[in-house]
């Protein structure tokens, strides 16, 4: 997680220093930051799964590019669809978002192609939607409250804990559906 925060901070600093540069330089710096953030985010999902499986997470897993394009594409599609659903009536966005919560773990775990990860996530969550969404919401509430109470310091504990809880939920669903 420190690597993820480091990438975020370095990316913001680079963007700050190139903000007066040409549009091409700014666009390149933003794109590079986006790709590195996406890579390390997928790597955190990967490491959470490794830890849940009883193995030791590795820094190398943060920078594996396998599945990165699929993760970015699936993230984009799911974000657009959920936002449209939220704008229309709120409820459709919440429902669809709940069914698609597992797509990143499918990509991190099984290298599932982006177009397949969303329907596979839907199938995995079907029948357990309330449990999955309730777990996600409760972990994010704990993370937000602990972060507020400690001026952000608890994020270094609550974010990895949240990823581990979500990975455990994914593993439980994946093994019960197999």
pLDDT in tens, 133-173: 999 999 989 989 998 998 888 888 888 899 999 999 999 99
Q: Phi/psi of residue 134, each to 5°?
A: -60, -40
**Which token pair is 18?**
């190139």
- Tracing tokens 């993230």 back to the chain, one arrives at 75
Confidence of residue 178 (pLDDT cuts 50, 70, 90): low
For residue 90, what is the DSSP state? S
For the cut 80, the answer to whether the pLDDT of residue 15 exceeds it is: no
| Mean per-residue pLDDT, 67-74 | 86
Q: What pTM was computed for the model?
A: 0.78
Q: Is the separation of the CB atoms in 11 and 33 below 8 Å? A: yes
- Of the candidates 125, 33, 110, the one whose C-alpha atom is nearest the C-alpha of residue 71 is 110
Give the residue, 78 or 20, on which the prediction is more confident: 78
d(CA 167, CA 22) in angstroms, rounded, equals 42
Question: How many CB atoms neighbour CB 105 within 10 A?
Answer: 27
Q: Is the separation of the CB atoms in 63 and 44 below 8 Å? A: no
d(CA 135, CA 67) in angstroms, rounded, equals 25
Residues 6+ apart with CB under 8 A from 4: 37, 40, 41, 44, 62
d(CA 21, CA 134) in angstroms, rounded, equals 45
Q: What are the Cα distances from residue 113, in Å, to 101, 119, 142, 166?
A: 15, 11, 32, 20
């Amino acid at each position: 997680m420190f690597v993820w925060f480091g990438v975020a901070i370095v990316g913001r600093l680079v963007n700050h220093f190139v903000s007066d540069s040409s549009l091409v330089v700014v666009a390149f710096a933003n794109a590079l930051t986006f790709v590195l953030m996406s890579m390390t985010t997928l790597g955190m999902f990967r490491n959470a799964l490794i830890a849940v499986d009883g193995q030791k997470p590795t820094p190398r897993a943060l920078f594996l590019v396998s599945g990165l394009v699929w993760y970015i594409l699936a993230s984009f599609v799911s974000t657009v669809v959920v936002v449209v659903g939220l704008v229309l009536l709120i409820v459709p966005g919440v429902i669809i978002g709940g069914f698609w919560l597992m797509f990143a773990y499918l990509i991190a775990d099984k290298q599932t192609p982006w177009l397949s990860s969303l329907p596979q996530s839907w199938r995995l969550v079907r029948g357990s939607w309330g449990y999955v969404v309730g777990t996600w919401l409760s972990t994010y509430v704990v993370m937000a409250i602990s972060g507020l109470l400690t001026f952000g310091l608890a994020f270094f504990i609550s974010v990895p804990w949240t990823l581990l809880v979500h990975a455990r939920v994914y593993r439980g669903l994946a093994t019960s559906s197999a």
